[in-house]
């Protein structure tokens, strides 16, 4: 798999404060600050060497900035998801329009009741770990197998309980390593990958985005920063408080290819 060259990102819509949340928080989302934090994230991806394509905001979909969820894009094949969240269904159309304009991308689809969200999908080399969560069901997992197994990927289910998505507590560092927060699922769940642990109190930082040697993480997590530096990464901490209030983290804001 070549190193990433390109990122699709979304935009924060005016309706972002109505984003879907697991536990409605008393804290109000500052949409202006969310936009500043998001643009800083996009700049960090560009500084890491990626070409950026930014989709416009869609006020009818408050969660549209979380572009990772409506598509699983691996090696030129894009599986458009039927999202597990009714309010988010239709977000995949904007990704589809964009991907149709990219040369060499093959689009695959799925239909309800099969459901899948990209936040539950983690590719590590030739393995795709798929979280069995409240958003991704058996049918979604089967569709990932049908589409990607013929291309040589091993598709492995991982149980996800009490968390929104698989990548709420882990993320890929490269084609061999993953970063995993302690105490959620045993490292053995990720067979074939080298698992780097980060302490449970820094769970939110287990979701990071790596582009080559650069690792973007949420700021305020010194132990994870040190662990990633020990693994050879140049760590860029980013402030994402308003994204976090909408149950988002770093990987969910981009689709890398």
Residues lying near ligand CIR in the complex (CB under 6 A) are found at 19-21, 63, 66, 68-69, 85, 88, 119, 164-165, 167, 246-249, 252
Catalogue the active-site residues. 165, 252
Whole-Å CA distances, 85 to 134, 137, 141: 9, 12, 16
- The CB-of-84 to ligand CIR minimum distance in angstroms stands at 8
In sequence order, the 6+-apart residues with CB closer than 8 A to the CB of 145 are 155
Cβ burial of 77 (10 Å; 0-12, 13-18, 19+) is: middle
Tokens at residue 243, please? Answer: 């994204």
Residue 143 or 165 having the CB closest to ligand CIR: 165
Closer of 66 and 190 to ligand CIR (Cβ)? 66
Cβ proximity of 98 and 8 under 8 Å: yes
The label of the residue with tokens 């936040």 reads 119
- Closest CB to ligand CIR among residues 123, 167: 167
**Nearest distance in Å: CB 71, ligand CIR:** 11
> Cα-atom radius of gyration of the chain, to the nearest Å?
17
Minimum separation from the CB atom of position 88 to ligand CIR (A): 6
């Amino acid at each position: 798999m070549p190193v990433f060259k390109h990122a699709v990102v979304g935009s924060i819509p005016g309706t972002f404060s109505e984003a879907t949340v697991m536990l409605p928080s008393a804290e109000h989302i500052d949409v202006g600050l969310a936009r500043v934090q998001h643009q800083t994230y996009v700049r960090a991806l560009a500084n890491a060497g990626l070409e950026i394509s930014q989709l416009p905001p869609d006020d009818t979909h408050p969660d549209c900035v979380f572009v990772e969820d409506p598509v699983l894009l691996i090696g030129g094949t894009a599986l458009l998801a039927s999202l597990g969240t009714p309010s988010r269904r239709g977000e995949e159309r904007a990704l589809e329009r964009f991907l149709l304009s990219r040369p060499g991308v093959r689009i695959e689809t799925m239909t309800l009741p099969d459901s899948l969200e990209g936040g539950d999908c983690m590719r590590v080399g030739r393995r795709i770990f798929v979280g069995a969560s409240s958003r991704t069901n058996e049918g979604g997992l089967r569709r990932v197998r049908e589409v990607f197994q013929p291309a040589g990927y091993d598709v492995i289910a991982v149980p996800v309980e009490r968390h929104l998505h698989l990548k709420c507590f882990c993320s890929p560092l490269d084609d061999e390593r993953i970063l995993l927060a302690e105490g959620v699922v045993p490292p053995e769940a990720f067979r074939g990958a080298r698992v780097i642990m980060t302490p449970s109190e820094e769970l939110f930082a287990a979701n990071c985005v790596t582009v080559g040697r650069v690792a973007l993480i949420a700021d305020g997590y010194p132990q994870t920063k040190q662990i990633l530096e020990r693994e050879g990464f140049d760590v860029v901490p980013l402030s994402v408080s308003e994204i976090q209030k909408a149950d988002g983290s770093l990987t969910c804001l981009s689709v890398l290819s």
